[in-house]
Amino acid sequence: MEALLASFKDFTLGNAIMFLIGGVLIYLAIKKDYEPMLLLPIGFGAILANIPSSSAIGEHGFLTILYNAGIATELFPILIFIAIGAMIDFGPLLQQPFMLFFGAAAQLGIFITTIFARALGFTLKEAVSIGIIGAADGPTSIYVANLFAGNLIGPITVAAYSYMSLVPLIQPPVIKALTTPEERKISMDLTLCKVSKTTRILFPIFVTAIAGLLAPMSVSLIGSLMFGNLIRECGVLDKLSQAAQNELSNLVTLLLGITIGSTMIAEHFLTIKTLLILGMGLFAFVFDTAGGVLFAKLLNLFLPHKINPMIGAAGISAFPMSARVIQKMAQKESPGNFILMQAVGANVAGQVGSILAGGVLIYLVSKMTL
Amino acid sequence: MQDTLLITFKIMLQSLGITFIAMIVFYALIKVLVTCFPEDN
CA distance A75 to A330: 40
The residue that leads in pLDDT, A321 or A224, is: A224
- Any residues with CB less than 8 A from the CB of A205 and at least 6 apart, and which? A226, A230
Q: What is the tens place of the pLDDT at every residue in A102-125?
A: 999 999 999 999 999 999 999 999
- Any residues with CB less than 8 A from the CB of B27 and at least 6 apart, and which? A97, A98, A100, A101
- Contact call for B18 and A203, based on CB within 8 A: no
Angle at alpha carbon of residue A186, lines to A182 and A188, rounded to 5°: 175
Residue in A100, A234, A361 to test binding to B, most B beta-carbons within 10 Å: A100
Q: What is the tens place of the pLDDT at every residue in A335-368?
A: 889 999 999 999 999 999 999 999 999 989 988 7
Give the residue-averaged pLDDT of A224-249.
Answer: 95
- Any residues with CB less than 8 A from the CB of A219 and at least 6 apart, and which? A208, A211, A212, A359
Nearest Cβ partner of B8 from A104, A114, A194? A114
- Any residues with CB less than 8 A from the CB of A337 and at least 6 apart, and which? A185, A187, A308, A330, A331
ipTM for this model: 0.90
Amino acid at A246: N
Angle at alpha carbon of residue A263, lines to A262 and A264, rounded to 5°: 90
CA distance A31 to A33: 6
pTM, to two decimals? 0.89
A155 within 8 A of A269, measured Cβ to Cβ: yes
Asked if the model's pLDDT at residue A1 lies above 70, the reply is no
Q: What is the tens place of the pLDDT at every residue in A23-49?
A: 999 999 999 888 888 889 999 999 999
Nearest Cβ partner of B30 from A94, A194, A211? A94
Q: Which of A151, A154, A96, A100 lies closest to A122 in space, CA to CA?
A: A151
CA distance A168 to chain B (A): 26
